[in-house]
Amino acid sequence: MDKIKVVIAGCGGRMGGALLEGILQSGDLTLHAALEHASSTQLGKDAGSACGVKITADVENALQGADVLIDFTRPEGTMHHLGICVKLGVTMVIGTTGFSAQQKAQLGAAAQHIGIVFAPNMSVGVNLTFKLLEMASKVLSHGYDIEIIEAHHRHKVDAPSGTALGMGEVIAKTLGRDLAECAVYGREGVTGERDPSTIGFATVRGGDIVGDHTVLFAGIGERIEITHKASSRATFALGALRAARFLQNKAAGMYDMQDVLGLK
């Protein structure tokens, strides 16, 4: 059986390194190409572990003959890669966060032509947590205040995290609410009593925290906390590689990790 030919975008970053390690340790995946931005000092260097693949900024050439692109970069980079993947018929696994509504619409349009797995978090554990939150929200729909607390390393540029927002979306949808209308992203000064229909977010940034997320359901006389803590980026990489395998022979469409894990 032929190996799945994978291209890594942002291969010089922390996630890129974890993805590369996962590919090299697998028996069914091969690194087809490694991408970095045009101003990267890593261009022309070996992608790592003496794998023989040189880092390039030539996206179209890198994607020629590839099966799937795994992209954990920035929205502007992902959107550039998206058009070329559609042109060449290369599927995508997208873990990038911070997209605008317009950019998400463009992803949806592209999914009419290629298979895309798009998820704010590729961790198997986090996606199981999404399912647990759906179940909890149904049971705790009345009399419980909902707060989402997340913590990440000092280098993360968007807040709240895509995963925290994804948790909020799952809860809001289950409760029949619109997250855009019920989310509260910051509190300061005299805020008045808490509106019970809101979903609160709190953000922590510091050190080398890989990713901690807790959803608090606070009722009268009890609190229920559902927490996921990541200690290594390997968990996200392994989930992304699982998504890459899932896309093989799949019809064009927009998928998420719930599809990949069979949780729907």
Per residue in 194-253, pLDDT (tens digit) is 999 999 999 999 999 999 999 999 999 999 999 999 999 899 999 999 999 999 989 999
Per residue in 153-195, pLDDT (tens digit) is 999 999 999 899 999 999 999 999 999 999 999 999 999 999 9
Number of H helices, E strands in the chain: 9, 12
**In the predicted structure, residue 264 carries a pLDDT above the cut 90:** no
Q: Among candidates 137, 69, 130, 100, which has minimal Cα distance to 108?
A: 100
Annotated active-site residue in 32, 152, 213, 228: 152
Contact 122, 166 (CB under 8 A): no
Annotated active-site residue in 156, 213, 250, 264: 156
- Determine whether 152 is an active site residue: yes
**In the predicted structure, residue 1 carries a pLDDT above the cut 80:** no
From edge to edge, which strands make up the β-sheet containing 4-9?
Answer: 55-56, 29-35, 4-9, 68-71, 91-94, 115-118, 253-255
- Going along the chain from its start, the domains and CATH numbers come out as 4-122+233-260 (3.40.50.720), 124-230 (3.30.360.10)
Most trustworthy range by pLDDT among 47-61, 135-149, 153-167: 135-149
CA separation for the pair 223, 212 (Å, rounded): 18
- Determine whether 87 is an active site residue: no
